[in-house]
Structure 1
Amino acid sequence: MDAWEPRPVPSVTPETEPFWSAAADGRLLVRECPDCGLVYHYPSALCPDCFADAEWREASGAGTVYSFAVQRHLGYWPEDDLPVVFAYVELKEGPRMVTNVVGCRPEDVEVGIPVEARFVPTDEGGIGVPVFVPTEP
């Protein structure tokens, strides 16, 4: 895949750096709470249910499209890459994440189709961006 730029590159904080770094290595991380067992994404350090310190866990990268929208005009997105599919993907491990579905025509995206994570490199060292591509059921 081409580099992510000229799209905006995610802001990296000390709390999120392991997530972006793993994505640069082709791995998708989620957080898991050792106290209550909740698996979640956005990579915040504290469990949103019980506020315990959560741990990083590698996810399979498999999921299904939970919801999506097709954006045909977007000022900051490269014109050659429009339209773009923004989606909530429900990961096999349970949490949902906002992402892009790529590698297919927007007309082929449907709620419930299986997808798998891929990772787009950036020019910023150590940052990869997870996107999803449709897979065979």
Structure 2
Amino acid sequence: MQRRLIGRATDIHIRPLNEEKATQAATDLLGELFIFSMITTDIDSHRSGNSEARKEEARNKALEEIKEKMEELEREKQMMKLRVAEVERVTGAGRGWPWVLPRAFTSGVAQAEPEPEPAAQQPTAA
């Protein structure tokens, strides 16, 4: 079969091996197959290890990006709180709902009436 694969003549007579040479050839073949299988297993595990390392690195990078985005959103939230506080300070709003906007912002639209101040409680005689 080997001769046919490499294109040599197949009609020649091949002498059979004696038992010692056949045993030695089989031992060599099994040893080489074992070594080959160990090397391929090592290469596969090395590749999968690299793949796992790359996946872990990608997960860590994505997590870091999410943390940065959260920090950015937290800063924006704080800035918005400061802006709302400034608007409330300027407009006098923030004492309750509805807000009362200055005339410049309403341009003829009816403004909501401010809420009446709660009545002061009279001390009761005990």
TM over 0.5: no
> Whose RCO is larger (CA < 8 A, sep 6+)?
1
The structure that is strand-richer by fraction is: 1
TM tier, shorter chain? under 0.3
- Whichever of the two has the greater Rg, that structure is 2
